[in-house]
Amino acid sequence: MDFGKLITAMVTPFDKNGKVDYSTAEKLIEYLLENGSDSVLLAGTTGESPTLTDDEKIDLFTMGADKFGKKTKIIAGTGSYNTEHSVKLSKRAQKAGVDCLLLVTPYYNKPGQPGLYEHFSTIANSVDIPVILYNVPSRTSCNITAQTCIELSKIENIIGIKEASSDFRQIAEIIRSTGEDFVVYSGNDGDTLPMLSIGANGVISVASHLVGNAIKDMIESFLSGDIEKSANLHSWLLDIFYGIFITTNPVPIKKGLNLAGINVGGTRLPLTDMSDDEIEKFKHILNKYDLIKV
């Protein structure tokens, strides 16, 4: 199953009362598909998965599959630090019609590598749809080693990994030692071009909410052999790649969308709004890309 080169980890829109705004979520998916995204990830970290209820997640997955199943691939974030809970949610997501699951490394309880293998294999074996692993040690304090990933890649429906470790030795080993049909996505926008250079397949992006077409152009330029154009685009995009992390994701990307006229609401506690100083700095970054006018 081809999920494309650019997958957007979509924010979850909330209304003024903090409830999930499914109507805006539908419009946002349409917007992303019109602006470079090949597939869409719902209820990932950027989608504030820790503060969404299971029913909210399933309603998002159902809306995505029902409304866009013929246009794109819908990936569902169903991972957690509780294997049994993840199995139940993954089964419900499959029933809702999603195309793939994204399973984040268990956080807080910090299992060892044997535990990680058992966790991911148990969830993958409970469903019949593809699974992409998600390694993000900066958030989970737990790393999927190259060897564990390689072993997990032998499970038929574990088809890829979103790698946000920025450990290029580890990433290169995964690319070298897994099959040609195992996909490796960058989990950091700023790592996308360097990872493409060692054989990665694309990116699961946050910045693509605002500069999706430019990211797609960077990837396609690299793959077509126009390395200079790709490198120039990478350099030009660096300010937004890192600017959207001026404070904890997804606070800035939601602020950026709101300032650009795409109203997705705020974040749920414990996340709070940016400081006035952060907002001013961020506005100057957005202005560089003609997303707003300061």
Residues labelled catalytic: 134, 162
Question: How far apart (Å, rounded) are the C-alpha atoms in residues 208 and 10?
Answer: 9
Cβ-in-10-Å burial (0-12, 13-18, 19+) of 226 comes to: middle
Question: How far apart (Å, rounded) are the C-alpha atoms in residues 43 and 49?
Answer: 5
Question: How far apart (Å, rounded) are the C-alpha atoms in residues 38 and 5?
Answer: 7
Nearest 5°: phi and psi at 73? -100, 135
Question: How far apart (Å, rounded) are the C-alpha atoms in residues 22 and 186?
Answer: 28
- What single-letter amino acid sits at 215? I
Question: How far apart (Å, rounded) are the C-alpha atoms in residues 154 and 152?
Answer: 5
Percent helix, strand and coil across the chain, each rounded to 5? 50, 15, 40
Q: Is the peptide bond before 250 cis (omega within 30 degrees of 0)?
A: yes
Q: Give the pairing of strands 131-135 and 183-186.
A: unpaired
DSSP string, 108-160: SS---HHHHHHHHHHHHTT-SS-EEEEE-HHHHS----HHHHHHHTTSTTEEE
